[in-house]
Amino acid sequence: MVDLCGWIFFISGVIFFISIIGIFISAAREKEKLLRGIGVIIISLMIPLIIVFINYLVIGQEVMRIIYLIVIFVYLIVELLLDFILKIDFRDKTSTHVPYIILEYAACFAFIFNTIEINEILGWIVSICFWAMLATLIYYIVIKKKNEKRKEQIIHD
């Protein structure tokens, strides 16, 4: 049986992955305002996750599940700092983008592993959301390369 905090975590995970899917699609279509709005949704996930975190501490949840939440919090805080507070364009430099990607995927796997611990079926649903996110990432990369080729053709013509 899944408790309330289990459902909160599961729903947060689904929202997290759907939001990242939205970010990839918005970025591919160069919709800056939509990107920002979706970013706010992702950062807002800190609120329900704080509730889950407090619950985990109060009931004495397994240490690994608390660590999963800490990894997710670190990612969300880095996202908040870089994109919303400092407004640093860190994605253009490999030296700053690669550590960010590693942290992002650590958060993704933390969502998956913790949800599997909560309930195996819910874990599979979150895993499917992760794979959908990866498919959307491929879409984003393909569209980005096509747009770059178009821009190069315009410059050369």
* pLDDT digit string, tens, across residues 102-120: 999 999 999 999 999 999 9
Give the angle subtended at the CA of 34 by the CAs of 31 and 37, to the nearest 5°: 155
Query: For residue 49, what are the domain limits?
Result: 4-156
What separation, in Å, do the N-terminal and C-terminal C-alpha atoms of the chain show? 64
Instruction: Determine the Cα–Cα distance for residues 6 and 32; give it in Å rounded to an integer.
Output: 33
Q: Residue 57's pLDDT band (boundaries 50, 70, 90)?
A: very high
Mean pLDDT of 50-59: 97
**How large a percentage of the chain has pLDDT more than 70?**
99
Count of domains for the chain:
1
Averaged pLDDT of the chain:
95
pTM: 0.93
Name the residue with tokens 């053709």.
153
pLDDT of 76 > 90? The answer is: yes
